[in-house]
Structure 1
């Protein structure tokens, strides 16, 4: 019986009609898609954006918060924020790509073997760091997050992030010198 209901809901949703317990009706979903599309989110990412809005509505309900007075307006605002987040993530990825491209163009091109040795040494060095130091190092230099964002996400002061970064870089540099990689 439950499988039949799940299949009917899935079929109804695939056909364009949301299931009965869907927090967004069809008009609200169309509005969310439009806001995301106008915000520059690619067509392929629109279903994920709509799901994110649904998830946020369900999270509100799970926390015991009352539903927004105007779900349509609330969901449009959330969709616009998601579009901004999408652009920020895209810019972050582009900056990271530029940094990596700059790193790949040194004065002399190291051989493939040199690159493999360096990658292995860095991986070993990261494995040797305490979890909190490795975490801030990866967030700062691989995820390209600013110190302030790292501090906010981890719930620690900026000074703590800076201290952990300093200690981690020193330890990683020492390890790479010890292994005679740099």
Structure 2
């Protein structure tokens, strides 16, 4: 955590922005934000583990059904425009939050949300069209 705070301060000064007036207060806020991000990520991972465990215990579709679903999702992703596919992959495969995607791509968060909404709607329609889900 301390290294991350120092790194953020170095990045801030390297980008040409002036140093904070009260470095200790700034560092405390940054450390708090980093800790919250870390805890959120742990909770997200725990929820994901719980969902996966529940899926394992419930009646699972046969291997053939999951293969068909995987193939349909892959084909649906291939049919998406590049900008939509990019945000879907970053959100659902890389598990980046909307803010992280926006920063990574250099676009507004609203644009990320819009592209995600449109892409998910198109994928859902594709899966229902193929009667895979």
TM-score band by shorter chain is 0.5 to 0.7
Q: What's the offset of the Cα at 1:122?
A: 1.0
Out of 78, 95, 99, the position equivalent to 2:47 is 95
State TM-score, norm by structure 1: 0.52
Cα deviation code 1:147-172 (max 9, x no counterpart): 7x5896541537x734x445323432
Higher relative contact order (CA 8 A, sep 6+): 2
Give the aligned length: 129
Aligned to 1:74: 26
Structure 1 unaligned blocks of 5 or more = 1-48
The 8 Å contact of residues 92 and 144 in structure 1, kept in 2 or not, is answered as no
Deviations 1:127-181 (A, max 9, x none): 2211332344456656385x7x5896541537x734x445323432343355553
- Give the match for residue 132 of structure 1: 83
Structure 2 stretches of 5 or more lacking a match?
none
Partner of 1:83: 35
Distance 1:176 1:67 in 2: 51
Flag the structure with higher helix content: 2
Query: Which residue in 2 is equivalent to 1:119?
Result: 70
Asked whether the equivalents of residues 133 and 165 of structure 1 are also in contact (C-alpha less than 8 Å), the reply is yes
